[in-house]
Amino acid sequence: MAKKSAAKIRGGIARRDALSAARRTEIARDAAMKRWADEGKSVLLFAKYGANDRPLRIGDIEIPCYVLADGTRVLALRGLYTGIGLSLGGGQRGERKIVDLMVSLAAKGIDTRGLIARVDSAIQFIPPHGGNPADGYEATILPDICAVLIDAHQQGKLGKYREHLAARAAILQHGFATVGIIALVDEATGYQDFRQRDALAKILERFVAKELRPWVKTFPAEFYKQIYRLNGWPYTEDSGRPGVIGHWTNNIIYRRLAPGVWEELKRLTPRTPSGSYRNKLFQRLTEDVGHPKLREHMSAVLMLMKYSPHWKVFMDRLDHEFPQWGANFLLPFPEDYTPIGLPPAPNFIDS
């Protein structure tokens, strides 16, 4: 009898080892769902795509993410609040911390975009590997959380000990300002391999307008003041800007907005015989996506500028946090780089 039992065990192990990893995961998931049903609990959606070793990565920030069986993209709760900079300690559940944060900001007059109600109940789901249910939020909640934190910081209502939340939010916001949080989750989980993709064409359609928009002042004076400060140049409102600032603007702003956008803007914007653009590049950005994303990126850039002691540090941080799309660094500088005394260059200023 013992021999027969041992043979069955060996046979079971052999059958298990012959299964693919995907099939073993499916069996574990089905077992978890059956166990919950037997316990009288509601059957939860399971995560069809995603794994702990394939998180959503933006800069140094990692947030586990999944695509549920019904197509809902979710971010793991613990990863979400560590991703935006909230600590794990303090005895509160993650959703409670975010709720309390939003309540405190709403009391200061900040528009919280309905987040108090939205973060008050997490989505429960079964991870791809089965096991105990996990908590998460629909991925589209993250851009709104970041926008609220940045807005609170700009209005001086976030508080000094929470300034790091705005810095994290700016990094995250830039990351999903390109193709959107849904596309980033699909890429991280591998779900993009199972849906039709014409990503670049869609990005350009969303960002670049077919018609030229009227000129509206877009680049704040603070952008240029920070460039002058970081380079050790004296700044006055009526001082002419050296042409190299135009090159830097392309590098800092347009080449980091989204894949292919800078190239498309250049292609659509004619030049004068002297080499200058006849129109400003931002006049080709769409009203609903391109122009707002430029403003969001500008806010993140200004934050990096203000916390950088000089140009080299700023550029290093910029290349680390917001690398250019599809290119190496446009203007690498040696350690002993000194900008003062630069010769004038053709004026390609896009402001």
Q: What is the pLDDT of residues 166-178, one digit of tens each?
A: 999 988 887 776 5
pLDDT of residue 78: 87
Could you tell me the pTM of the whole model?
Answer: 0.50
Ranges in the chain, pLDDT < 50: 1-4, 40-42, 196-197, 327-351
Rounded to whole angstroms, the Cα distance separating 46 from 296 reads 35
Which residues fall within 8 angstroms of residue 150, CB to CB, at 6 or more apart? 166, 169, 170, 173, 296, 299
Which residues fall within 8 angstroms of residue 28, CB to CB, at 6 or more apart? 129, 130, 131
Name the helix (H) or strand (E) containing 252.
Answer: helix 244-252
Q: Which residue is it, tokens 């959503």? A: 56
User: Do you know the residue count of the chain?
Assistant: 351
> 19-33 in b/e burial notation, b at 16+ Cβ within 10 A?
eeeeeebbebbeebb
The answer to whether 260 and 200 are in contact (CB under 8 A) is: yes
pLDDT of residue 5: 58
Rounded to whole angstroms, the Cα distance separating 121 from 93 reads 11
Q: Three-state DSSP class for 132?
A: coil
The answer to whether 174 and 297 are in contact (CB under 8 A) is: yes
pLDDT of residue 346: 32
